[in-house]
């Protein structure tokens, strides 16, 4: 057994700890593993801390976009590196150093496949906290090597949705119903759905929103408005959305939110907006403080300000990453949570640690990190929605509210189970968020 991570002074174990399934995919691009873009960290600049650790390094890889053109998320890669530094400064994992390899796949299927092959060639125990639109290039490589794609936020492609080597930690599709549930709880009567036109993906988003309203016994959507994926002038669509509505369910990618909110402001919109974590963020709120005041952010991870992410906040303070990186986001919060759960899995393994033993343990793991919903059981596949989303084992979401340009946790970051709302069946009282801020 690898033993527990070093405890802090209070005796509490250090919990060292990206939208969404095919929905946020359009907004979060990921990128390439090549000789110029991948990097390794086994404690980063903390060589003295790492050198005090004994035993063979535990090697992992995180695959994500650092330089993609659609919507890069370098904060994922940076968070993985910081976790490596942090855990090694605090005793490693059972006294062994964690060696983090990051691979920037540049939103390129060939580079994504190269990242996966590099992970296998390097003998990683698992890939951890990755996010890629090119999962069909990654998962088959990992499957052949019996290597886990552990702790992803969002299953984007079919192979990630049901592959036995994939452990999805994030709530993914549940956020789509979650926006509608909170709108209904807040008393919205004339709710309009407005989001990107992404074909079948949008159909699924709308269907889940409708199910969420149905589960609450609320009025159906007043209208469904699809906007072009490429950011442009959305005045016509906003005019349609504002007509007779009181609330807007808006899973709009961050890149499109600025032109959307510009049109919303110019037309005097005052409807309450319901958006997604990582998309409707503080950068957007600061740019449009009046339009986003009171907006509800539906998320899969607790806010960065929550106690669960105290170690991440300390790591940011200590390692001083670029202020341009968004750490209160699905990407960073999800990566830290994935590494925290990875640590928990490794600590529980008795005997040798390798990609085979880790995968076997991960497939039976039950979540322990408080920044995600409690008790996520990777052994319990999800059979809802026709059985096509078996890895959607986490269906609990949390909320935040934007106030004065700041995102603040709602109900102390409580989690709400959206299983019933995704199916459109009556939602239990325990899964129903209260009204208000």
pLDDT in tens, 183-235: 999 999 999 999 999 898 899 999 999 999 999 999 999 999 999 988 789 99
410 burial level (CB within 10 Å; 0-12, 13-18, 19+): buried
Residue 205 CB partners (closer than 8 Å, separation 6+): 23, 176, 193, 195, 251
Q: Please tell me if the domain spanning 58-170+307-379+388-394 has the same topology as the one spanning 173-299+397-431.
A: yes
Q: pLDDT value at position 71?
A: 62
Alpha-carbon distances, residue 310 vs 45, 78, 233, 304 (angstroms):
21, 17, 40, 8
Residue 103 to residue 48: CA distance in whole angstroms = 25
Alpha-carbon distances, residue 279 vs 20, 138, 164, 311, 326 (angstroms):
10, 25, 29, 24, 11
- Mean pLDDT across 239-250: 98
**Strands 98-106 vs 39-41: parallel, antiparallel or unpaired:** antiparallel
Long-range Cβ contacts of 360-364 (<8 Å, 24+ apart): 362/126, 362/148, 362/150, 362/167, 363/164, 363/167
Q: pLDDT value at position 231?
A: 77
pLDDT at 335 over 80: yes
Q: Which residue has the higher pLDDT, 24 or 361?
A: 361
190 C-beta neighbours (distance < 10 Å), count: 14
Residue 216 to residue 54: CA distance in whole angstroms = 55
Residue 274 to residue 161: CA distance in whole angstroms = 26
Residue 221 to residue 244: CA distance in whole angstroms = 12
- Number of residues that make up the chain: 437
Q: In this predicted model, what pLDDT tens digit does every residue of 262-314 receive, in sequence order?
A: 999 999 999 999 999 988 988 899 999 999 999 999 999 999 999 999 999 99
Tokens of 420: 């019933």
- Domain residues of the chain, as ranges? 58-170+307-379+388-394, 173-299+397-431
Q: pLDDT value at position 257?
A: 92
CB 319 within 8 A of CB 82: yes
pLDDT at 47 over 50: no
Residue 111 to residue 31: CA distance in whole angstroms = 7
pLDDT at 103 over 70: yes
Collapsing DSSP to helix, strand or coil, 309 comes out as: helix
Q: Which residue has the higher pLDDT, 19 or 434?
A: 434
Q: pLDDT value at position 236?
A: 96
Q: pLDDT value at position 230?
A: 82
- Mean pLDDT across 13-42: 38
Alpha-carbon distances, residue 317 vs 5, 46, 86, 127, 129 (angstroms):
21, 15, 12, 26, 21
180 C-beta neighbours (distance < 10 Å), count: 30
Output the CATH code of domain 58-170+307-379+388-394: 3.40.50.2300
Sign of CA dihedral 217, 218, 222, 223: negative
Tokens of 1: 């057994």
- What is the rounded average pLDDT for all residues in the chain? 88
Closest CA to 211 of 401, 384, 24: 384
Q: pLDDT value at position 27?
A: 40
Q: pLDDT value at position 49?
A: 54
pLDDT at 393 over 90: yes
pTM for the predicted model, two decimal places: 0.88
Q: Which residue has the higher pLDDT, 400 or 14?
A: 400
Closest CA to 136 of 126, 149, 146, 151: 149
DSSP state for residue 153 in the 8-state scheme: S
pLDDT at 28 over 50: no
The CATH architecture of the domain made up of 173-299+397-431 is 3-Layer(aba) Sandwich (3.40)
pLDDT at 119 over 80: yes
């Amino acid at each position: 057994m690898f033993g527990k991570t070093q405890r802090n002074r209070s005796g509490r174990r250090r919990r060292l700890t990206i939208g969404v399934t095919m929905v946020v995919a359009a907004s979060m691009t990921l990128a390439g593993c090549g000789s110029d873009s991948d990097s390794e960290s086994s404690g980063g600049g903390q060589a003295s801390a790492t050198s005090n650790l004994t035993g063979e390094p535990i090697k992992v890889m995180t695959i994500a976009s650092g330089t993609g053109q659609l919507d890069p998320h370098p904060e994922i890669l940076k968070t993985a590196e910081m976790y490596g530094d942090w855990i090694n400064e605090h005793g490693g994992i059972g006294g062994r150093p964690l060696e983090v390899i990051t691979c920037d796949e540049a939103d390129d299927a060939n580079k994504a496949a190269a990242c996966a092959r590099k992970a296998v060639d390097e003998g990683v125990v698992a890939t951890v906290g990755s996010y890629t639109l090119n999962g069909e290039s990654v998962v088959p490589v990992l499957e052949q090597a019996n290597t886990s794609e552990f702790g992803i936020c969002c299953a984007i492609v079919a192979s990630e949705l049901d592959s036995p080597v994939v452990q999805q930690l994030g709530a993914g599709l549940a956020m789509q119903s979650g926006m509608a549930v909170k709108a209904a709880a807040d008393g919205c009567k004339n709710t309009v759905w407005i989001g990107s036109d992404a074909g079948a993906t949008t159909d699924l988003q709308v269907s889940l929103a409708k199910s969420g309203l149905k589960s609450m016994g609320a009025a159906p959507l007043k209208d469904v408005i699809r906007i072009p994926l490429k950011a442009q002038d959305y005045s016509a669509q906003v005019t349609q959305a504002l007509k007779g509505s009181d609330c807007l369910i808006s899973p709009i990618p961050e890149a499109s939110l600025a032109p959307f909110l510009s049109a919303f402001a110019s037309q005097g919109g005052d409807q309450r907006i319901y958006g997604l974590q990582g998309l409707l963020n503080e950068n957007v709120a600061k740019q449009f403080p009046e339009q986003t005041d009171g907006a509800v952010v539906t998320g899969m991870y607790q806010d960065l300000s929550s106690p669960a992410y105290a170690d991440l906040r300390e790591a940011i303070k200590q390692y001083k990453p670029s202020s341009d990186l968004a750490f209160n986001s699905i990407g960073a919060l999800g990566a830290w949570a994935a590494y925290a759960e990875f640590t928990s899995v490794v600590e529980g393994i008795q005997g040798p640690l390798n990609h085979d033993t880790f995968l076997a343990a991960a497939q039976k793991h039950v979540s322990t990190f408080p920044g995600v919903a409690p008790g996520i059981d990777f052994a319990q596949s999800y059979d809802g929605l026709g059985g096509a989303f078996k890895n959607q084992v986490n269906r609990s979401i949390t909320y935040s509210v934007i106030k004065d340009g700041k995102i603040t946790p709602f109900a102390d970051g409580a989690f709400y189970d959206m299983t019933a709302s995704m199916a459109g069946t009556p939602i239990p009282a325990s899964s129903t968020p209260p009204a208000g801020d």
